[in-house]
């Protein structure tokens, strides 16, 4: 008979049986846990659910840890079914099967309460809408999290002790093999470990991870690793190159305890877990080195120098009193005014792609997010017009941005003075409180009879001595860091501020003002530009100013009219229909400046039919080029000669034209994943 907590509304929905084991090894060794989880279906049948009809088993998380719900498809599937009001109860064998993190349990608990879904753990039914049962469930979740953290801390402490004794507790990086108990040696095959030395040598010559990646690909070098006794290749990405260059294992040093990204290792090191408070463990000479320590140290110096350069031009706030060439936040040399202040919707910074159009006197440039390209050598994440964005920023800066008036500046300076006086009062109050406590303890010490209460006399004396030491400490700290009185603005300075406010537009429009100086001026007011959405017709940006003002703008793509025309032409629309759609979108001219009228629509349609009609899309055509490209690369033909051969064979390029370039062949090989050769052999 089902418990009274289970109602007909619960039985009318699904019963989910959730299975999870943390590692794949447990799938073989933990047969008892597997059978116990399978037996939960018996409770569902006993409580009234029908097998094969209203009972669903979720086994997607077998072999996955409970520490991260994002990488658990079974948990995500279960949560989605609960939120869709399709689940009456969820079954598991123990509370820790759900989560080992209290925050993750809160997500599941909230969803179950909202959907009226019961939680059944080894036959015990809990209705989370009842505050008593919810409290009990939360206690179990807290216990599961505590046990997990306690076990993890104990395990990490034990691993640290092993590392201090020179015993490796992690798998060796690529190029090494594990032998014996925690010992590493070079891989048995030279072709596995030798290329990693080449990575360091190329980087020291090129001084760039992107150039190092390209050199490795052009030379046909493969980075290999050994997995389960077999040698397999790894993708040569910029991230892989960067990680390899920073790994101290390649100079023969064992390192354990580097966790810079974990939330447990942020802030004061004294607040870190006890096993990590001593800093990382380093054991030099633990295993044979692939690169000499001197070469490794030189590479680290170059990496550090490049990091300083990126930080210098990353768009941080700068001090106008520092010369432009030495300013720590000096912008780059590109034409984009928002350079260093614009971010893609993926969160990454956007770069400036500068190019010139021969038929136009205007300098064109775009903001591009290269996150996708850097990570997997794929396409560009986002690509938007630079002049369109910069025009909006300049217009708002010169005409609409409410700059502070003289009265506002006076009030702000007054607020600074009030803050200074408040800090003085708080410091004086701190010293006064410490002295009062010391005097109180001294009076208490004098009032205690040593003969009758010797222990109390000694205790109060120690506290009084500590209070006097605290007074001296507070006074010494305040003397070491005195407060500086803010300078009061004179009448002449306030008048100068007013003139500067009026002269911003004049300075901006002055012919002698350089593009870099305009960037510096814009950064005084602009906080951030964030890309919101992008499509073939328009894109949206969100502009945030330092005064708290935020704006949303929709900007039409420069090629919006052509893009919409080609899309409608592919759908079989006629010229009048296309013209009506263009005008409905508010498009008045093509990118070349030609007006959107029927004659120009017919002209663009003729061009499109001539170059694109009957031609397969580029993704299909590039697959057909894989065979001839592999044939030419097998003959060790370089990219420049391949481009010439493609033109001789009249093979259309990605845009449908006849011209092929070395860069287009290189990009095609990247997309098709063809091995890179750098032979200079030419076609006869």
Q: What is the pLDDT of residues 561-590, one digit of tens each?
A: 888 888 888 777 888 888 888 888 888 888
Q: What stretches of 447-559 show up as alpha helix (H) in DSSP?
A: 454-480, 491-509, 515-523
Asked if the model's pLDDT at residue 501 lies above 60, the reply is no
How many helices (H) does the chain have, and how many strands (E)? Answer: 24, 18
CA distance 628 to 626: 6
Bigger pLDDT: 495 vs 68: 68
Helix (H) / strand (E) containing 32: helix 31-38
Q: Burial letters for 296-331: b for 16+ Cβ neighbours within 10 Å, e otherwise? A: beebeeebeeeeeeeebbebeebeeeeeeeebebbb
pLDDT of residue 359: 42
Asked if the model's pLDDT at residue 321 lies above 80, the reply is no
Which segments within 271-421 are labelled E, that is strand? 281-283, 342-343, 351-356, 363-369, 382-385
pLDDT of residue 542: 92
pLDDT grade for 91, boundaries at 50, 70 and 90: very high
Fold adopted by 176-311? Hect, E3 ligase catalytic domain fold (3.90.1750)
Nearest residue to 670 via CA among 617, 621, 622? 622
Instruction: Name residue, tokens 């002049």.
Output: 387
**CATH code reported for the domain at 8-159:** 3.40.50.1390
Asked if the model's pLDDT at residue 350 lies above 60, the reply is yes
Nearest residue to 291 via CA among 179, 177, 189, 198? 198
* Token representation of residue 390: 């910069």
pLDDT of residue 117: 92
Q: Percent of the chain, pLDDT > 90? A: 5
Q: Is the dihedral of CA 440, 446, 452, 458 positive or negative?
A: positive
Asked if residues 92 and 18 have their Cβ atoms less than 8 Å apart, the reply is yes
- All residues at 6 or more sequence positions from 313 whose CB lies less than 8 Å from its CB, including other chains: 330, 331, 332, 340
Of the listed ranges 195-199, 403-407, 448-452, 523-527, the least confidently predicted one is 403-407
Asked if the model's pLDDT at residue 682 lies above 90, the reply is no
User: What letter does residue 554 receive in the DSSP assignment?
Assistant: E
pLDDT of residue 655: 60
* Token representation of residue 69: 């719900």
Provide the CB-side half-sphere exposure for 625 (13 A, CA): 29
pLDDT grade for 432, boundaries at 50, 70 and 90: confident
């Amino acid at each position: 008979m089902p418990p009274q907590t289970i109602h007909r509304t619960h039985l009318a929905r699904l019963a989910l049986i959730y299975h999870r084991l943390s590692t794949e090894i447990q799938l073989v060794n933990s047969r008892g846990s597997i059978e116990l989880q399978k037996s939960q279906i018996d409770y569902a049948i006993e409580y009234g659910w029908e097998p094969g009809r209203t009972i669903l088993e979720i086994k997607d998380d077998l072999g996955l840890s409970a520490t991260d719900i994002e990488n658990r498809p079974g948990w995500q599937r279960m949560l989605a079914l609960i939120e869709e009001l399709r689940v009456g109860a969820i079954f598991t064998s123990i509370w820790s099967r759900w989560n080992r993190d209290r925050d993750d349990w809160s997500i599941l608990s909230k969803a179950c309460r909202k959907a009226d879904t019961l939680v059944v753990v080894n036959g015990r039914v809990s209705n989370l809408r009842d505050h008593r049962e919810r409290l009990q469930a939360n206690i179990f979740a807290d216990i599961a999290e505590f046990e997990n953290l306690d076990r993890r801390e104990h395990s990490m402490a034990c691993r640290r002790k092993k590392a201090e004794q020179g015993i490796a507790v992690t798998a060796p990086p690529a190029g090494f093999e594990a032998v014996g108990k925690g010992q590493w040696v070079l891989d048995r095959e030279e072709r596995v470990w030798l290329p990693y030395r080449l990575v360091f040598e190329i980087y020291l010559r090129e001084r760039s991870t992107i150039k190092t990646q390209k050199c490795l690909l052009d030379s046909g070098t493969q980075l290999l690793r050994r997995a389960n006794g077999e040698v397999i290749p790894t993708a040569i990405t910029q991230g892989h190159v960067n990680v390899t260059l920073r790994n101290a294992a390649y100079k023969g040093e064992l390192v354990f305890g580097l966790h810079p990204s974990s939330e447990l290792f942020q802030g004061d090191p004294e607040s870190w877990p006890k096993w990590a408070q001593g800093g990382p463990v380093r054991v030099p000479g633990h295993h044979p080195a692939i690169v000499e320590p001197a070469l490794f140290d030189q590479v680290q110096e170059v990496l550090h120098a490049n990091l300083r350069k990126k930080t210098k031009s990353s768009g941080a706030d700068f001090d106008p009193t520092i010369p432009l060439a030495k300013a720590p936040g000096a912008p780059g040399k590109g034409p984009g005014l928002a350079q260093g202040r614009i971010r893609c919707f993926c969160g990454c910074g956007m770069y400036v792609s500068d190019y010139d159009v021969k038929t136009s006197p205007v300098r064109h440039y775009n903001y591009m997010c290269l996150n996708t390209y850097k990570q997997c050598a794929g396409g560009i994440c986002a690509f938007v017009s630079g002049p369109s964005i910069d025009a909006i920023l300049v217009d708002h800066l010169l005409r609409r941005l409410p700059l502070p008036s003289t009265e506002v500046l006076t009030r702000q300076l007054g607020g600074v003075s009030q803050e200074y006086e408040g800090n003085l009062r708080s410091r004086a109050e701190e010293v006064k409180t410490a002295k009062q406590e010391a005097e109180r303890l001294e009076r208490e010490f004098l009032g205690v009879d040593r003969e009758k209460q010797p222990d109390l006399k000694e205790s109060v004396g120690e506290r009084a001595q500590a209070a006097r030491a605290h007074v001296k400490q507070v006074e010494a700290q305040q003397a070491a860091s005195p407060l500086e009185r803010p300078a009061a603005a004179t009448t002449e300075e306030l008048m100068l501020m007013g003139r500067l406010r009026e002269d911003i537009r004049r300075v901006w429009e002055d012919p002698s003002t350089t593009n870099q100086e305009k960037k510096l001026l814009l950064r005084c007011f602009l906080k951030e530009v964030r890309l919101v959405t992008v499509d073939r017709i328009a894109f949206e940006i969100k502009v945030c100013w330092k005064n708290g003002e935020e704006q949303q703008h929709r900007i039409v793509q420069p090629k919006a009219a052509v893009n919409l025309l080609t899309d409608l032409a592919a759908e079989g629309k006629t010229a009048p229909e296309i013209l009506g759609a263009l005008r409905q979108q508010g498009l008045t001219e093509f990118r070349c400046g030609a007006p959107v009228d029927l004659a120009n629509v017919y002209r663009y349609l003729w061009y499109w039919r001539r170059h694109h009609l009957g031609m397969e899309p580029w993704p299909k055509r590039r697959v057909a080029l894989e065979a001839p490209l592999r044939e030419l690369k097998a003959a060790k033909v370089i990219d420049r000669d391949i481009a010439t051969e493609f033109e001789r064979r009249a093979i259309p390029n990605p845009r449908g034209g006849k011209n092929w370039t070395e860069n287009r062949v290189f990009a095609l090989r990247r997309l098709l994943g063809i091995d890179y050769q750098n032979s200079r052999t030419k076609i006869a």
